[in-house]
């Protein structure tokens, strides 16, 4: 059950590779208010240590409630008796509670792919009680890391006065026992290793190094273009090391891949402009003709090309301010099947 990614799409259910998919329509206005607004301009910065100021808008909250109700109703309509329903991420935190009201027979799980903030930050949210109550509609709530699980249990206890076990892994609410678990997401290690060992990848890796001028050390960053990832600070640190002479532009180059994301949100537009300004400034000062010291790509890469780039990189820079579970670090390690790389 999900949104197709197209505004005002009223598609009928359809089947892909044996999986029955049920579209939930979201209007263009709701994308602006619910998705880009409340979810990504309100919850996202708050859940990432309030790195940027959140927007708290009643109109955006109303849209968030409306879309969550639509998802809950769609699930209530199609779920078989006594089914297990698994709900994902911060855009749908009200769905468990709304679904529980409609279908008490269901077993409901929820997984949060991003951090959950401490009580002091979460308390900034005007609708904090409603979010906690929505999540407590679950039988199981999953987080990436123990910190997120502990923060949630504390918020539930402080805001709704629930009973929690000493370890915070069981919550009693409304006569039900709710489990709180930690399930760090991983990668398909075997797939990465097989790709990395392939002849085509090794050839592509050699081509990458040659195109970069065969430097002694390639420093690599691969991130979504998001202000939580610390790309700007990373570039400034690189420039400082060049300035101090600890890095040599004739021996060390940096490759930064920034995957476009949420391009309609103002914070992301500002971040892109700042990164591009920094890249231009550093290259203008330290590059040689035909050999920039920073190679910057603002686009997505095919997975095969990404694995080859991982193989080419001598030092992988993973420097987020705050992250749920960064898979780039895991992919880089898995791709370096010879045990090299830092």
Please list the active-site residues: 113, 323
Closest CA to 218 of 209, 226, 227, 206: 209
CA distance 312 to 306: 10
CA distance 135 to 82: 19
> 314 CB contacts (<8 Å, ≥6 apart)?
217, 218, 219, 220, 340, 341, 342
Tokens of 308: 């080859």
Q: How many CB atoms lie within 10 A of CB 174?
A: 12
Closest CA to 116 of 148, 91, 84: 148
**291 has which bridge partners?**
288
CA distance 193 to 207: 20
The C-alpha angle with vertex 143 and arms to 141 and 148, in degrees rounded to 5, equals: 110
Contact 236, 191 (CB under 8 A): no
**204 has which bridge partners?**
none
- Scored b (16 or more CB within 10 A) or e, 268-286 reads beebbeebeebbeebbeeb
């Amino acid at each position: 059950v999900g949104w197709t990614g197209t505004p005002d799409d009223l598609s009928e259910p359809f089947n892909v590779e044996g999986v029955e998919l049920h579209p939930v329509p979201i209007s263009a206005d709701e994308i602006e208010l619910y998705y880009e607004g409340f979810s990504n301009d309100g919850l996202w910065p708050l859940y990432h240590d309030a790195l940027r100021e959140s927007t708290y808008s009643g109109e955006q909250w109303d849209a968030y409630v409306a879309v969550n109700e639509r998802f809950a109703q769609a699930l209530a309509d199609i779920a078989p008796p006594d089914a297990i329903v698994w709900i994902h991420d911060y855009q749908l935190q009200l769905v468990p509670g709304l679904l529980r009201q409609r279908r008490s027979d269901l077993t409901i799980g929820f997984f949060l792919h991003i951090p959950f903030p401490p009580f002091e930050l979460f308390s900034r949210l005007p609708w904090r009680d409603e979010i906690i109550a929505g999540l407590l509609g679950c039988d199981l709530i999953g987080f990436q890391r123990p910190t997120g699980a502990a923060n949630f249990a504390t918020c539930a206890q402080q805001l709704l006065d629930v009973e929690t076990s000493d370890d915070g892994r069981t919550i009693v609410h409304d006569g039900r026992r709710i489990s709180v678990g930690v399930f760090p997401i991983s990668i398909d290690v075997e797939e990465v290793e097989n790709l990395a060992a392939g002849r085509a990848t090794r050839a592509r890796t050699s081509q990458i190094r040659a195109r970069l001028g065969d430097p002694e050390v390639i420093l690599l960053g691969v991130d979504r273009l998001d202000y939580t990832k610390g790309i700007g600070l990373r570039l400034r640190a690189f420039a400082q090391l060049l300035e101090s002479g600890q890095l040599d532009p004739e021996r060390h180059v940096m490759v930064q891949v920034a995957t476009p994301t949420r391009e309609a949100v103002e914070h992301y537009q500002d971040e892109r402009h700042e990164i591009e300004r920094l890249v231009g400034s550093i290259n203008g000062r330290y590059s040689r003709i035909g050999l920039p010291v920073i190679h910057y790509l603002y686009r997505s890469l095919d997975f095969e090309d990404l694995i080859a780039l991982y193989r080419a990189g001598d030092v992988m820079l993973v420097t987020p301010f705050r992250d749920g579970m960064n898979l780039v670090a895991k992919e880089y390690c898995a791709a370096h099947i010879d045990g090299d790389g830092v």
